[in-house]
Amino acid sequence: MSFRVVSLILCHDRPKHRARQIEKFIDIAQRLRGLNNYSALRAFVAGINNSTFPTDATTELFKTKAPDMFKTFQSWDILFQAIRSHRAYRMALKSSKGACIPALCVSGSSLLLHEY
């Protein structure tokens, strides 16, 4: 899924159109987060990260036009980082209410033994 996100962002010629596409993907990702679908959320975060870089014109436009969405995206990026053995991700899983779809490539075997 992340490859599809990358291709749908990079198919646009202008940074303005790429930034608009990222905004649409952030909107979808917010819904995925609300459904506790961490697997698809991780794919969207990876796809957006792989289609931009910090000093890119697209990233700058996105930051300027939608600062709240950019902050939300940054929090999801931190969620899936391997810092402290995926501490942020493990805390998010523990606090999730109801059913969830874990990101199995992040979840270690010790995480899968717990009931969520």
Q: How many domains does the structure of the chain reveal? A: 1
- How many angstroms separate the CA atoms of 66 and 88, rounded? 24
The answer to pTM > 0.75 is: yes
Q: What pLDDT, on the 0 to 100 scale, is given for residue 107?
A: 53
Residue 43 is part of which domain span?
2-112
The set of long-range contacts for 18-25, using a CB threshold of 8 Å and a minimum separation of 24, is 18/51, 18/52, 18/58, 18/61, 19/58, 19/61, 19/62, 19/65, 22/48, 22/51, 22/52, 22/58, 22/62, 23/62, 23/65, 23/66, 23/69
CA torsion 70-71-74-79 (nearest 10°) is: -130
How far is residue 86 CA from its own chain's centroid? 15
Check which CATH number belongs to the domain holding 35 and give it.
Answer: 1.10.840.10
Q: What pLDDT, on the 0 to 100 scale, is given for residue 84?
A: 77
CB atoms within 10 A of CB 1: 12
pLDDT in tens, the chain (116 residues): 999 999 999 999 999 999 999 999 999 999 999 999 999 999 999 999 999 988 899 999 999 999 999 999 999 998 888 777 788 888 888 888 888 888 877 655 444 444 44
